[in-house]
Structure 1
Amino acid sequence: MASPLLLPLLNWARKLRYPTLFKLTAALFALTMLMPDPLPFVDEILLGLGTLLLANWKNRKGTIEPPSPTSR
């Protein structure tokens, strides 16, 4: 469950498409690798963005709808 401080950021990130979300996550990960804890809650933000990235990646593939039953 996201904390109340992170919820607005994760709601905004949920609307992003795959390439933008990936770039944002990669940039935040690189920043964390160069400077440990540059921002408060940076680890939680990174975990939330990674979760959204994987969920978006799963949904990116075309969804196949089952054929609808025909009425007789």
Structure 2
Amino acid sequence: MANPLTRPLLRWAEGLRFPRLAMITAVLFFVDLLIPDFIPFIDEILLGLGTLLLANLKRRKQDGPA
């Protein structure tokens, strides 16, 4: 069950393509490493973005060259 505070962000991120989604995930991860708990619920956001990132990778492999 998604957190009601992070659901809008993750729903927006579902529409992003792989390079931009990977960049956003990496930037948030490094910000979280440098400044712990700078953004509330950043750990939950990173878990959701990581899940979307892995789902996009799987979808790209299935849609590969025919």
Q: Distance in 2 between matches of 1:28 and 1:61?
A: 25
Write out aligned runs for 1:1-72 (5 A).
1-63=1-63
State the TM-score, normalized to the length of structure 1: 0.83
What one-letter code is carried by the residue in structure 2 that aligns with 1:22? A
Unmatched runs of 5 consecutive residues or more in structure 2: none
1:21 counterpart SS class: helix
Q: Distance in 1 between matches of 2:33 and 2:40?
A: 15
Q: Which runs of 4+ in 1 moved over 6 A?
A: none
1:5 deviates by 1.0
Q: Distance in 1 between matches of 2:46 and 2:62?
A: 27
1:20 deviates by 0.2
Greater CA radius of gyration, 1 or 2? 1
Q: Distance in 1 between matches of 2:58 and 2:25?
A: 16
1:26 deviates by 0.2
Range moving further from structure 2, 40-49 or 54-63: 54-63
How many residues matched? 64
State the TM-score, normalized to the length of structure 2: 0.90
Unmatched runs of 5 consecutive residues or more in structure 1: 65-72
More helix by share: 2
